[in-house]
Structure 1
Amino acid sequence: MSTALLVLHWVAGFIVLAEALNKLERTAPCAPGLTPRERVTAWLKGFAWLLLGLGGAGALITPLLPLERPTFQDVCVMLGFAVLIVRTRVKEG
């Protein structure tokens, strides 16, 4: 069971990191013409995706370093974000 959790955590981390990098590339909080509210929203969105990307990168590096194995909670959180990302991509079609 522990190996299955590790694999799920790694795959979910890969999906979350890929999407985070994609979103960060397209986020432009310093773009001209944004209202203050849009600018704050863009900064918060960028910060949130940065944190998710760091979490995804951590999930990818965990099997390679002598770190703690992910707990069931860690796997559930990362897998939940990955499912939401895949769902959104499928919905966009």
Structure 2
Amino acid sequence: MTITALAVLAGGTYLMRLAPLLLHDRVRFSDRTVRLVELGAVALLVALVATGTWFEGREFAGWARSAGVAVAAAGIWWRLPFVLVVVLAAGTTAVLRLVGVP
């Protein structure tokens, strides 16, 4: 059963990635549909970041992680280099946890 499920999921993933290449010139979408799909992708990304920031399982992840994400967001807003954004966010979280902030 597991092998069958894995094969079906792998095949479905492959077909989903192959479909745009095969159908690119045959299927046209309206500008509104394209815009809604783009907004849907942004909404899913925001939901993923929010749940990853504030929750660990079913519990609140703590203020240190939230502060680290806020520092990362500020660094991105200021257009800092990505490596610096990651280091600042991780450093903020680490220092806050070191001083006892959950």
Give me the TM-score of the superposition, normalised by structure 2: 0.29
Q: Where is the helix percentage greater, Structure 1 or Structure 2?
A: 1
> Which of the two has higher C-alpha Rg?
2
Give me the TM-score of the superposition, normalised by structure 1: 0.31
